[in-house]
Amino acid sequence: MRTIGLINWKGGVGKTSTALNTACLFANSGLKILVVDADKQGNISTWFGADPSGLTLADILLDGTDASEVIQHTRYENIDIIPSDASLIQANYEVLKDKSKAQHDILKRSLESVKGNYHICIIDNPPDSNIPVLNCLLVMDDIIAVTLPNRFSLAGIHQLQMELNNYNQALHLSLKVRGVVINQYTTECTDIFNEIASKYKIFPTIRGGRNTQKWLDRVINNQKSIFEVCPNSGYARDIKRFGNKLAEVIEADATGQEVLW
Ligand SMILES: Nc1ncnc2c1ncn2[C@@H]1O[C@H](COP(=O)(O)OP(=O)(O)OP(=O)(O)O)[C@@H](O)[C@H]1O
Ligand SMILES: [Mg+2]
């Protein structure tokens, strides 16, 4: 299982929209996907129709519950989910309080039994830093920052980078941002693009605009992916380009080849 996390300290940059459509893209090509919702808002859980009475990521973090007991099937044959809801707030607090146990690798241990069942795991992160995020960072093979082409969102990546540096020091890890995907990109944003490119690898950009907003409103409100709502839209093509690059990175890592960025 290759685990990809979409993340930024900044909110509203498109983490969830990118996560759910990319999950559907990979699932459509026959890959088995596990989605992990690390956000107490539970947006991606609701979108995938997770049963609100079921166990959640909070149960994993609180009791070390095995992931196999928490995973729910979704309406998509190839997509399962570890959902989250507001109970994650209390779980974060309880785990932080109990200093007698390791706090960072609870999810890692819980996923051991299921990682052979999936090709790809996609983690949708909240716009903050806490125990659920730390646990998710520990299982990510690729930490992918999603950003809008503006300085506030970019600051969110720098804040994330500082968080990773702190964890690297404290826990002797080597976490780093694998690349950045710029969401709602327009050609007016070339300065920001160049600034990001000077520090990070850049994945194919994803367009914004009124048309895309219209399609995404339908995606979110009708609980259908962009590939069901409008497979020929520019947004669907951009998600495909992003997914293809991810697939290229995964393939290159497996074969020891260099990726051309
Ligand atoms: N490429 C895009 N073009 C236009 N609108 C977009 C685009 N991507 C996302 N949006 C819109 O931006 C809003 C925020 O998107 P989304 O919920 O995916 O962000 P997020 O980073 O997950 O937010 P949060 O930090 O609250 O979890 C939504 O209304 C979504 O429809
Ligand atoms: Mg979100």
What does the pLDDT profile of the chain (261 residues) look like in tens digits? 999 999 999 999 999 999 999 999 999 999 999 999 999 999 999 999 999 999 999 999 999 999 999 999 999 999 999 999 999 999 999 999 998 988 999 999 999 999 999 999 999 999 999 999 999 999 999 999 999 999 999 999 999 999 999 999 999 999 999 999 999 999 889 999 999 999 999 999 999 999 999 999 999 999 999 999 999 999 999 999 999 999 999 999 999 998 888
pLDDT of residue 152: 93
pLDDT of residue 187: 87
Residue 38 in contact with ligand 1 by CB distance below 6 A:
no
**What is the DSSP secondary structure assignment for residue 37, as one 8-state letter?**
E
Measure 20 CA to ligand 2 centroid, in angstroms: 10
CA dist., res. 19 & res. 119, Å (int): 15
Residue 74 in contact with ligand 1 by CB distance below 6 A:
no
Residue at 261 is within a domain: no
Backbone angles phi, psi at 249, to 5 degrees: -65, -45
Structurally, the chain folds into a number of domains equal to 1
Residue 125 in contact with ligand 1 by CB distance below 6 A:
no
Residue at 232 is within a domain: yes
What residue's CA is closest to ligand 1, atom 2?
208
Residue at 24 is within a domain: yes
What residue's CA is closest to ligand 1, atom 9?
14
CATH code, 93: 3.40.50.300
CA dist., res. 163 & res. 177, Å (int): 11
pLDDT of residue 260: 86
Q: Which of 216, 222, 230, 235 to mutate to test the pocket of ligand 1 (most atoms within 8 A of CB)?
A: 216
The parent domain of residue 229 ranges over: 2-255
Residue at 17 is within a domain: yes
pLDDT of residue 179: 97
Residue at 260 is within a domain: no
CA dist., res. 41 & res. 47, Å (int): 11
Residue at 118 is within a domain: yes
CA dist., res. 7 & res. 16, Å (int): 9
Environment of ion ligand 2 (residues, CB < 5 A): 15-16, 43
Token couple for 2: 């290759």
Q: Which of 17, 157, 186, 207 to mutate to test the pocket of ligand 1 (most atoms within 8 A of CB)?
A: 17
Distances (CA, A) of 12 to 3, 60, 171: 22, 26, 30
Using DSSP bridges, classify how beta strands 142-147 and 177-185 pair: parallel, antiparallel or unpaired: parallel
Residue at 239 is within a domain: yes
Residue at 174 is within a domain: yes
pLDDT of residue 226: 98
